[in-house]
Amino acid sequence: MTTDYEFPLWETIKIISGIDEVGRGPLAGPVVAGAVVFPRRFRPEGSVLEKLNDSKKLSAKMRAELVPEIKRNALGWAVAAVEPETIDRINILQATMLAMNNAVESLSVRPDLLLVDGNRFKTGLGIPYTTIVKGDSMVFSIAAASVLAKTHRDELMTAYSRIWPAYGFDRHVGYGTGEHVRAIMQYGRCPIHRISFRIRQLGEK
């Protein structure tokens, strides 16, 4: 991935934060957002960060190698999770917006511009923003945010798998795989399942 997208923006904007989320689709667990600010005109030449890309295109091993390098080189970074009970109460779209805004508010620096993956965003933070479809494959700071969000959520789901081992959260991280649906059919939902998410195999509409 190149870092060229941000370079023209840095001519007039000092602090840019990339934002991305993971976990909108699963049947269980939180939705997690990441926010990353790199120093102005940052380039990753000569480091593992040259391999940075959309987290879904990277192996778990590569994501694990990238996380400390992202944190070491970033001017600021943050992750924020919104739990299933809130997702059920306000819906997944609003919960996603909340996670993204919480991540930005948790940054140690206040951005002058937000670059947000996707085509929808809502904020009351008073910071200008641009939404970018497939931004995690195009924008360096968004890709970094996606890696931090993905690794954080995977760690949470692995921890949950030790509390509720019957569901296999460490393998499917809450997504609606056959294994996961069969476990729900056998054991019912556990406290981190999203009650508002319907499961077709259970006859729910």
Q: Note the pLDDT of residue 49.
A: 86
Q: Note the pLDDT of residue 175.
A: 97
Q: Note the pLDDT of residue 51.
A: 83
**Third-level CATH fold of 6-202:** Nucleotidyltransferase; domain 5 (3.30.420)
Does residue 45 surpass a pLDDT of 90? no
Say what the pTM is.
0.94
Distances (CA, A) of 7 to 10, 12, 138, 199: 5, 10, 12, 45
Share of the chain above pLDDT 70, in %: 98
How many other C-beta atoms are found inside a 10 Å radius of the C-beta of residue 168?
Answer: 17
